[in-house]
């Protein structure tokens, strides 16, 4: 099915199943421990051996010598895999560094060996016996030190690194009110619950891999390139994933080494990247330096806006696209954005939940708060005054498909009690706490991706959906079941969903908040074909047939769905393909974050008292799951604002705080109250579902709302994240 014209009235619009809050259908399996995760596949890979990764002790250089004899002679060891005996390996297109290093070393803790043994303890202990001699080289590990050497990067993921409209320099120079501020964000770790883990088994020359990966088709392609195999000889399965947040979009060392280890040991092998290895071995969100300049009139209406971003990565890596939202969020005829990339010899930087906007809005939305104060305009009103209903870089010829930022700001402010905020910082007290409120806009581009599915109905009226779409804890199983139930007029209990298998039709996969809208649109497409087949078998015209209550109805007649399917059943496969609507219309999701904090006047400690948000993201397919997505993302935003930071040892080039004891993330007790409002919206130019992504929108702007609330509480403005108490207390007024 080609989606190249705005959607009209269709079966999804009935809203009998879609759009209704529904419990996660995978919930019972997860809470009873019966959901099979990649490292636990004892059922299909019995007597598997265990692999333990040996990582590089230096950040840059080469291996002079590697001695595995002691490890190979250790109790229980079956094999030790290194670059010397792994055989010829290629490199995937989506990895910056090699997943098995040697003799060159590209970053600290890069996998250099895998020890395979009968038990985890044997593999771990033997790994300590691998002796590696290094030729260490000096590296560059500090973004600020390399900032002046940063260069304009090439086009990445189809996006130009720079953009311009009008004359920014002239517009900014002549503005009545100017803001020129620099903000910094540190490196971040994904810190998902389930580590990167895989179980691999060989049968002849064919590889079966059970892995924790968000993108099944990408994993097959990258494995084929890395292992120099035919894609058809690789079977990848990932039905359940315990969180990914972008770290599992791409092939990682656990998958490659599990495959190599299983081949070397002649038996199935499971590999999990140990928690302390994850920050340095896998990917992270790169640090940024961001300069924002805004020129406005005395009423706060923007005439000139510029956003420059510096980030770093390994040679061949990419940017953290933190200025992207600045291209679309606010008006102003004179505009400029730029991204510059420095070479850093740190572990690979790559996608983390809402790449670009998550950290870009940490800067932009604080700059907007500073502009509001300088103009003497309420921060909510300032954002409303600068709303624009078309792409401000292009003009009215490219309108937004749907844009309800103003509705989000107004409804969110009313619901949060914004009118009670004292605009003068440091005026509201609750005992020894200084109390303040902050606001920030939320923005995340809407991306749609080609997605396929196969849907069948058997002779009992049971519906089965198969697609290689993944569920990373986001509720994919449920919204896909809801889509099929709505389209075929059956109850949710009559639908079985099978996900995460490379033998199923290729889907959009989970990432970039494109998964829910795209994958359900793919199921919609397959269901439309199946509706035609079933209607014809029932003797009806497909255009006239209605599917409801397990029946096919037309011309005053009703035939049970199972009767139309017949003894042999019926099946259909199709995919959704998107045309140029995203070029003709700017497509994005919007929202407004509100936060109330308390700052201890003696210690500078910050406590989030409550958060609220209003969001517009097209049709909300399952409000219960969507709320869970949003409040989880808001919590991540609080983490970025107050505590999350990978600390770089600039002498040796590694992240020092590489475990959950020292890399702090928020917990439930840190945010006692979260309120979410979804603004009614249907976007007929997004997909036949009229939905958009929502999973990443909740993190975008949340941290800035916290920062703005801290300023309102105590008058301390900090532009260097995270806003830890040592930074706050330096500037606190005397208690």
Integer Cα distance of 540 and 107 in angstroms: 64
Looking at residues 475-485, what average pLDDT do you find?
Answer: 98
Q: Would the pLDDT of 469 be above 80?
A: yes
Report if residue 191 sits inside a domain: no
Q: Report which DSSP code applies to 71.
A: H
Integer Cα distance of 411 and 287 in angstroms: 34
Q: Would the pLDDT of 186 be above 80?
A: yes
Please report, for residues 234, 438, 439, 503, 586, the alpha-carbon distance to residue 446 in angstroms, rounded to integers and kept in the order given: 32, 26, 22, 28, 9
Integer Cα distance of 344 and 694 in angstroms: 33
Check whether residue 89 and residue 216 sit in a common domain: yes
Report if residue 318 sits inside a domain: no
Report if residue 646 sits inside a domain: yes
Integer Cα distance of 470 and 247 in angstroms: 14
Integer Cα distance of 617 and 553 in angstroms: 33
Check whether residue 725 and residue 633 sit in a common domain: yes
208-227: per-residue pLDDT in tens?
A: 999 999 999 999 999 999 99
Domain total in the chain:
3
Active site residue 146: no
Report if residue 439 sits inside a domain: yes
Question: What values do phi and psi take at 347, rounded to 5?
Answer: -55, 160
Final residue of a structural domain among 555, 583, 611? 583
What CATH code is carried by the domain that includes residue 55? Answer: 3.90.1170.50
Residues of the domain holding 625: 383-446+587-735
User: Exposure of 547 by Cβ count < 10 A (0-12 exposed, 13-18 middle, 19+ buried)?
Assistant: buried
Check whether residue 732 and residue 630 sit in a common domain: yes
Check whether residue 600 and residue 726 sit in a common domain: yes
Check whether residue 687 and residue 566 sit in a common domain: no
Integer Cα distance of 316 and 734 in angstroms: 50
Report if residue 294 sits inside a domain: no
Q: What is the pLDDT, as a whole number, of residue 734? A: 81
Place 157 in a pLDDT band, splitting at 50, 70 and 90: confident
Catalytic residue among 106, 320, 681, 696: 696
Residue 206, H or E segment: strand 206-211
Check whether residue 53 and residue 109 sit in a common domain: yes
**Residues in the chain, overall count:** 735
275-305: per-residue pLDDT in tens?
A: 999 999 999 999 999 999 999 999 999 999 9
Integer Cα distance of 475 and 478 in angstroms: 5
What share of the chain has pLDDT > 70, as a percent? Answer: 100
Check whether residue 406 and residue 511 sit in a common domain: no
- Asked if residue 248 lies in contact with residue 196, where contact means CB atoms within 8 angstroms, the answer is yes
Predicted TM-score (pTM) of the model is 0.97
Integer Cα distance of 319 and 548 in angstroms: 49
Check whether residue 455 and residue 576 sit in a common domain: yes
Place of tokens 């019995």: 46
Place 156 in a pLDDT band, splitting at 50, 70 and 90: confident
Two tokens, residue 378: 């309420």
- Asked if residue 470 lies in contact with residue 476, where contact means CB atoms within 8 angstroms, the answer is yes
Q: Would the pLDDT of 735 be above 80?
A: no
Q: 417-434 burial string, b = 16+ CB within 10 Å, else e?
A: ebeebeeebbebeeeebb
Looking at residues 633-644, what average pLDDT do you find?
Answer: 98
Which of 414, 393, 257 shows the shortest CA–CA distance to 326? 393
Check whether residue 389 and residue 481 sit in a common domain: no
Q: What is the pLDDT, as a whole number, of residue 266? A: 97
Integer Cα distance of 444 and 676 in angstroms: 17
What CATH code is carried by the domain that includes residue 492? Answer: 3.30.365.10
Place 595 in a pLDDT band, splitting at 50, 70 and 90: very high
Average pLDDT over the chain reads 97
The secondary structure of 529-561 as a DSSP string is HHHHHHHHHTT--TTT-EEETTEEEETTEEEEH
Check whether residue 12 and residue 59 sit in a common domain: no
668-720: per-residue pLDDT in tens?
A: 899 999 999 999 999 999 999 999 999 999 999 999 999 999 999 999 999 99
Final residue of a structural domain among 583, 608, 643? 583
Looking at residues 238-250, what average pLDDT do you find?
Answer: 97
Final residue of a structural domain among 583, 610, 633? 583
Packing angle, helices 702-714 and 357-375, rounded to 10: 30
Report if residue 148 sits inside a domain: no
User: Exposure of 650 by Cβ count < 10 A (0-12 exposed, 13-18 middle, 19+ buried)?
Assistant: middle
Q: Would the pLDDT of 336 be above 90?
A: yes
Check whether residue 569 and residue 632 sit in a common domain: no
Report if residue 421 sits inside a domain: yes
511-566: per-residue pLDDT in tens?
A: 999 999 999 999 999 999 999 999 999 999 999 999 999 999 998 999 999 999 99
Q: Would the pLDDT of 159 be above 90?
A: no
Report if residue 297 sits inside a domain: no
423-464: per-residue pLDDT in tens?
A: 999 999 999 999 999 999 999 999 999 999 999 999 999 999
100-142: per-residue pLDDT in tens?
A: 999 999 999 999 999 999 999 999 999 999 999 999 999 999 9
- Asked if residue 268 lies in contact with residue 48, where contact means CB atoms within 8 angstroms, the answer is yes
Check whether residue 674 and residue 699 sit in a common domain: yes
């Amino acid at each position: 099915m080609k989606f190249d014209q705005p959607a009209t009235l269709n079966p999804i619009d009935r809203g009998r199943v879609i759009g209704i809050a529904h419990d996660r259908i995978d919930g019972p399996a997860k809470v009873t421990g019966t959901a099979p995760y990649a490292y636990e596949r004892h059922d299909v890979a019995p007597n598997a051996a265990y692999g333990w990764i040996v990582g590089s002790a230096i950040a840059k250089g080469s291996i002079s010598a590697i001695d595995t004899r002691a490890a190979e002679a250790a109790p229980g060891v079956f094999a030790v895999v290194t670059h010397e005996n792994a055989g010829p390996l290629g490199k995937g297109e989506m990895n910056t560094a090699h997943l098995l290093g040697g003799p060159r070393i590209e970053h600290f803790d890069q996998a250099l060996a895998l020890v395979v043994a009968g038990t985890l303890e044997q593999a771990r202990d033997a790994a300590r016996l691998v002796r590696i001699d290094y030729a260490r080289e000096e590296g560059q590990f500090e973004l600020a030190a390399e900032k002046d050497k940063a260069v304009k990067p090439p086009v990445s993921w189809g996006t130009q690194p720079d953009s311009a409209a009008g004359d920014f320099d002239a517009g900014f120079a002549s503005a009545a009110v100017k803001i020129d501020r620099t903000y910094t964000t540190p490196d971040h770790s994904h810190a998902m619950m389930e580590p990167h883990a895989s179980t691999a088994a060989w049968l002849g020359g064919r590889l079966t891999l059970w892995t924790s990966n968000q993108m099944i088709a990408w994993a097959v392609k990258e494995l084929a390139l890395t292992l120099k195999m035919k894609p058809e000889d690789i079977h990848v399965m990932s039905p359940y994933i315990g969180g990914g947040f972008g770290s599992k979009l791409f092939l990682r060392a656990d998958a490659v080494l599990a495959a190599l280890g299983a081949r070397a040991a002649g038996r199935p092998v499971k590999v999990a990247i140990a928690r302390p290895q994850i920050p340095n071995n896998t990917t992270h969100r790169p640090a940024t330096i961001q300069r924002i300049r805004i020129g406005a009139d005395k009423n706060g209406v923007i005439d000139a806006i510029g956003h420059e971003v510096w980030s770093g990565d390994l040679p061949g890596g990419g940017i953290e696209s933190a200025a992207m939202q600045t291209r679309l969020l606010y008006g102003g005829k004179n505009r400029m954005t730029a991204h510059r990339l420095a070479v850093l010899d740190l572990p690979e930087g790559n996608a983390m939940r809402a790449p670009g906007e998550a950290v870009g809005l940490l800067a932009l939305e604080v700059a907007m708060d500073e502009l509001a104060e300088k103009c003497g305009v309420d921060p909510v009103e300032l954002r409303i005054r600068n709303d624009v209903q078309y792409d401000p870089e292009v003009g009215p010829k490219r309108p937004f498909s749907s844009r309800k930022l103003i509705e989000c700001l107004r409804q969110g402010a009313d619901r949060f009690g914004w009118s009670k905020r004292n605009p003068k910082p440091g005026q509201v007290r609750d005992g020894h706490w200084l109390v303040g409120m902050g606001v920030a806009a939320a923005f995340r581009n809407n991306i749609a991706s080609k997605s396929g599915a196969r849907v069948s109905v058997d002779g009992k009226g049971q519906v089965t959906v198969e697609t290689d779409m993944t569920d990373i804890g986001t509720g994919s199983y449920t919204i896909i079941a809801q889509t099929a139930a709505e389209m075929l007029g059956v109850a949710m209990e009559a639908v079985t969903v099978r996900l995460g298998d490379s033998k199923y039709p290729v889907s959009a996969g989970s990432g970039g908040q494109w998964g829910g809208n795209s994958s359900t649109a793919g199921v919609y497409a397959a269901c439309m074909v199946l509706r035609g087949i079933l209607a014809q078998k029932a003797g009806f015209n497909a255009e006239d047939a209605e599917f409801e209550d397990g029946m096919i109805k037309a011309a005053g007649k009703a035939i049970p769905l199972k009767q139309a399917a017949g003894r042999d059943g019926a099946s259909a496969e199709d995919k959704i393909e998107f045309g140029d609507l995203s070029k003709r219309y700017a497509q994005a999701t919007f929202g407004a974050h509100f936060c109330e904090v308390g700052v201890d006047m003696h210690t500078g400690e910050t406590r989030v008292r409550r958060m609220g948000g209003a969001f517009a993201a097209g049709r909300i397919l399952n409000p219960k799951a969507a709320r869970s997505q949003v409040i989880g993302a808001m919590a991540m935003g609080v983490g970025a604002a107050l505590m999350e930071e990978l600390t770089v040892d600039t002498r040796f080039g590694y992240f020092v705080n590489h475990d959950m004891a020292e890399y702090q993330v928020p917990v439930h007790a840190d945010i006692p109250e979260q309120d979410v409002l979804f603004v009614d919206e249907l976007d007929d130019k997004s997909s036949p579902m009229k939905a958009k992504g929502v999973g990443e929108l909740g993190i975008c702007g949340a941290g800035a709302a916290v920062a703005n609330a801290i300023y309102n509480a105590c008058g301390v403005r900090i532009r260097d994240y995270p806003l830890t108490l040592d930074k706050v207390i330096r500037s606190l007024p005397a208690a």
